[in-house]
Structure 1
Amino acid sequence: MEKRLLELLALAFQNELSENERKELDVLFQRFPEYQDLAEKLQFSYERIDELELAGMIQVEKEWKKLQKKNKRLRGQGRKMVFLVVAGMAAVLLLAIGMLFLFRSFPEVEVSSIACKQEPKKVTLEYANGKTLVLDVNSLVMNDKGKITDHVVAKENMAVAEGLRLNRLSVPKGGDFSLTLADGTVIRLNADSRLQYPSEFSGDSRIVYLEGEAFFNVAKDKTKPFIVKTKKLDVEVTGTSFNVMAYPSEAFIQTTLVQGGVNILTEDGNVCKLLAGEQCAVDTASGECVVSQVNVASFVSWIDGQFFFDNESMESLMRKIARWYDVDVIFENEELKSELFYGTITRSDEITEVLDILVLTKTMHYEIKDRTVYIRK
């Protein structure tokens, strides 16, 4: 969390904040106005960086002491700030900003003695003949004969898939996985997802079955369309990059196109055609298909290890967090579910760091008991 706040201030100083990042920083300043006051003084120094020498460092320290006097909770935090001799006032200013976060005081939260820390998750590959392989790797590559070529997998398992019709790859909560199919198509599966696929593609199409979420970079083959089948719809392409989210817990199945073109075929016969930058959202109850322009980054950022929320409801956001951190989430106040959130969070952060960011930006608090997160006002 400290890194994120520091990043926002650094971007602000250089006039490089995006609209959503500016909103995120504004919300933080509304919650902690004393930080905005210090940031404005640091900005004044940053704009005159060429004119500053050691005096600039002294001024920053003075401003920090003033802030300490105003906010008693910033005193005596037990952390030491060591100033290094660095070249240039830019580095000095970054250290000064860092001080703000080292001595910060955020709202208190209740966390049980059993922390919801990420633990290694095991991906399983179930072959069509019933044999199951527990994978200790985060990716697999199939050659053109349907054999696993990843050197980490034991040799005796390398030919098991050969000749079998359909395999099932299961990615648990808290993990993701990359699979390269025999045709060269690369599939990245998100947490709590399952993919069924053949060892080798035969016939006039390439068909896989998805439950959950996956990003597809499909190898081009105009003679054999690639088809992703979900519970309510099929996505058909010949070679392109796109993301499909089809979790049973979600009200919509979303197909987001990064590049190329795709056809969406719903179970009631409707066909939706997508262009790059568009998304098709199919209502799983009514079958209605809505195509719209979207910020693609917010739907595919997970493949780069980020949560990117763009005007997303707290309810939707917490479902993603629950899948990734393998926790249950209970809202004690229903109105919090509709709160909207803008921002970026790193998926490698501990769950408490992620929740602390939400506490900063919304009028909410949380409590963790065992593996359940309680959200309340």
Structure 2
Amino acid sequence: MNGSDYNLLIEKYLSGTVTLEEEAMLEKYLEENPVHSPELLPYEKAEIGNRIRKRLFANTIRKPLRPMYFQMLAAAAFVIISGLVLYFVRDKNSSMTAVTTALNDRKEAFEVRNTSRKPQRVTLEDGSEIILQPNSKLSYPEHFGDRKRIVYLKGEAFFKVKRNPAKPFVVSTDNLATQVLGTSFNVKSHARSVEVQVATGKVSVYEVGESHAASKNGVILTPNQKIIFDKASRKMELGIVKNPLMLKTAADTPAFNFTEVPVAAIMETLESTYGINIVVEGDMLKNCLFTGDLNDLPMFQQLQLICKSVNVEYEQRGTSVFVFGEGCL
């Protein structure tokens, strides 16, 4: 029996829905194994704690387990409740405020697990769309509260959020919260890190602590920017997404077919098209011209072809691109 099965049987026993066969399995497991608590999402821990407390203190008549096993089960319940108290009161890295808000706001929680090999589409009540990747889990309330729209993610998902300035949308992972008003972005929650990539709009990303504040360790991301948060060091590394997308519509996108065009002007076109800061060091491009068709090429490939043609190089530093070299002087 794994941790998930054990936890499920605990819940079913305390709610009075356990079968005789399941009860026998639980008795055997308690006899052969020490009590432990499986890994859960924050709201799941609170939910199980509530159920346990209600069951332990309610005046309910049901067929009891044998005395020895009941004592062991009570011990298991005590461990879980004690863990919940420590989780909400003492753990400085917990998402206490976010979880409390979500529990106060929601009526029923839904959970979607993508166990298939293909991405799965999830549509929330506010019209927001989520593409949940394989081996990922999303938890969200049936009805959002009045203050925020909070969902919980384990794994990877792409979010296209319906704009609502009065009610920010928050994606909570183990150690990081991503908050937006209305935009599209991707979140990958790994065992050691969390990565957020922005496609459109602005996204506030901050470490989750007791105060749930963004000011201590947080950043604002714009389109084609990303951040990688290392859970162990608690450091955030800013960068540019692997394949930046054009910010403008097809009608407004400039043609990338150039004939004897100053390279400095092309760099400005790339900067405005992709929303990425391009810094040219010195005047090496002042006399450089470029001829070529760059249509249908990714941004970094466009940049590489331009730089090679005029004897310069580029380097990505954080969310900016620096161009340097001899050039055409």
- Give the TM bin, normalised by the shorter chain: 0.3 to 0.5
- Scaled by the length of structure 1, the TM-score of the pair is 0.34
Higher relative contact order (CA 8 A, sep 6+): 1
